[in-house]
Amino acid sequence: MKMMMLLIITGLILQSPCARTEPYTPASDTEILERLPVAAHGKQTLQELRSKLTRQPDDYRLALNLARAYITSGRTYSDPRFYGYAEAVLTPWLTRPYNRPDALVLRATILQNRHDFQAALADLNSALKLNPRLPQAWLTQAAIYEVQGDYPAALRSCMALARYSASSSAAACIHSSLSLSGQAQSSYQQLTAIVSDQGNPEELTWTYTLLAELAERLSLEQDAESWYRKALGQQQRSVYLLTSYADFLLDRNRCGEVVELLAKESQADALLLRLTLAEQRLRLKSFNGHRDLIQDRIAAAKARGDTVHQGDEARFNLYVLNNAQTALELAARNWLVQKEPRDARILLEAALAAKQPEAALPVIRFIEQTRLEDARLSPLLQTARG
């Protein structure tokens, strides 16, 4: 009898609400199934360009314009489908006998977005051999070297950029790479002196974000906050900016503000993760649903063989699933591909949580070598060296 009771109780405990969705037939013709992401007029412009290109497939300028428009949409929404469309438009121009440096540079930005850095650098080198007066190519090259942690190479590319373009972007590029190689303080001062309140909002958003992150590394909390606010004030949608600002808020346990900032941002994975971390700390009900959604997305990416999110996946494993070992493995693999301060941080945190400080050795060596300064990393480094 007791056995029976036990069985029944166990059965009740094991009942779980997790149900898989089944395909269905909508009840009404008016049921809206999907809202398309691009705002109406943006989509129209894209469609016009696209149908023009269908009529004039040999128009190289038109193809470049369409590819650029797709890449811009891809960036705004952080949506890889647009990068795929852009790649398809460029492909006919990248086969022999064409040697089109602009098309190569555009493809490099697509490859960079996929974190296929080697292929992107190869495209950039080919393009620059054909025409060294390509500011875009030098800047993309610098950005890739910076992500890879090769700051001297990034600086060389920025110098080349300065030779061909007098824009303030070249100065920002130079100071960005200097700031990562032991000159954070002076770079910050010089960049603060250069930056103006006027200009292209896109450029301002970028420069302010750069300054905010730099201030954060120098633990100038107030400065960072005001740079972030200025960047957000430009009203330019940037997933990168939102991600960095959300991390800044999470570090200060201002979780309510994170939820407010990202409440509607469940599409972009990076933002969804920050939102979920904030909800977890606030013990909000929405946390469970978002955690499951991230897990489903990770499974979907795995099915495809994608590995571009290893850094964030490590963070998800460490803080949401409390699985330090898996987090460490992911963070270590991520470190082989990219070496930004946030990549260093997650590897250090995972190594300490998994009680394997020796696994953080590559980061420790890297920071000694590059003299990277970051207030967020210092305490972690001390413990790891301990």
| Binders in 220-279 for another protein, by CB under 8 A | 238-241, 243, 267-272
Which range, of 4-12, 178-186, 226-234, 371-379, touches another protein by CB under 8 A? 4-12
Q: How far is the CB of 65 from another protein (least distance, A)?
A: 8
Q: How far is the CB of 320 from another protein (least distance, A)?
A: 13
User: One-letter amino acid identity for 253?
Assistant: N
The answer to the question of residue 113 lying near another protein (CB under 8 A) is yes
Q: Which of 8, 48, 56, 91 is close enough to bind another protein by CB under 8 A? A: 91
Total residues at interface with another protein (CB under 8 A): 93
Cβ neighbours around 152 below 10 Å, total: 10
Which range, of 108-116, 188-196, 215-223, 364-372, touches another protein by CB under 8 A? 108-116
The answer to the question of residue 375 lying near another protein (CB under 8 A) is no
Q: Which of 39, 166, 194, 263 is close enough to bind another protein by CB under 8 A? A: 39
Q: How far is the CB of 40 from another protein (least distance, A)?
A: 5
Q: How far apart are CA 65 and CA 45, in angstroms?
A: 11
> Which residues inside 283-342 make contact with another protein, applying CB under 8 A?
293, 296-297, 300-301, 303-306, 308-309, 322
Q: Which of 4, 36, 61, 264 is close enough to bind another protein by CB under 8 A? A: 36
Largest CA distance in the chain: 87
Q: How far is the CB of 22 from another protein (least distance, A)?
A: 7
> Which residues inside 146-205 make contact with another protein, applying CB under 8 A?
147, 167, 169, 176, 200, 202-203, 205
The answer to the question of residue 21 lying near another protein (CB under 8 A) is yes
Q: Which of 1, 4, 12, 32 is close enough to bind another protein by CB under 8 A? A: 32
The answer to the question of residue 8 lying near another protein (CB under 8 A) is no
The full DSSP string for 222-275 is HHHHHHHHHHHHTT---HHHHHHHHHHHHHTT-HHHHHHHHTT--SSHHHHHHH
The answer to the question of residue 97 lying near another protein (CB under 8 A) is no
The answer to the question of residue 33 lying near another protein (CB under 8 A) is yes
The full DSSP string for 160-192 is HHHHH--SHHHHHHHHHHHHTTT-HHHHHHHHH
Count Cβ atoms within 10 A of the Cβ of residue 208 and give its class: 0-12 exposed, 13-18 middle, 19 or more buried.
Answer: buried
The answer to the question of residue 34 lying near another protein (CB under 8 A) is yes
Q: How far apart are CA 24 and CA 27, in angstroms?
A: 9
The answer to the question of residue 38 lying near another protein (CB under 8 A) is yes
Helix/strand/coil (H/E/C) assignment for every residue in 190-234: HHHHHCCCCCCHHHHHHHHHHHHHHHHHCCCHHHHHHHHHHHHHC
Phi, psi at 61, each rounded to 5°: -60, -45
The answer to the question of residue 73 lying near another protein (CB under 8 A) is no
Nearer to another protein, 222 or 322 (CB): 322
Judge whether 346 and 315 are in contact, CB under 8 Å: yes
Which tokens belong to 217?
A: 């590394």
Which tokens belong to 265?
A: 């941002």
Q: How far apart are CA 357 and CA 271, in angstroms?
A: 29
> Which residues inside 122-141 make contact with another protein, applying CB under 8 A?
135-136, 139-140
Nearer to another protein, 320 or 364 (CB): 320
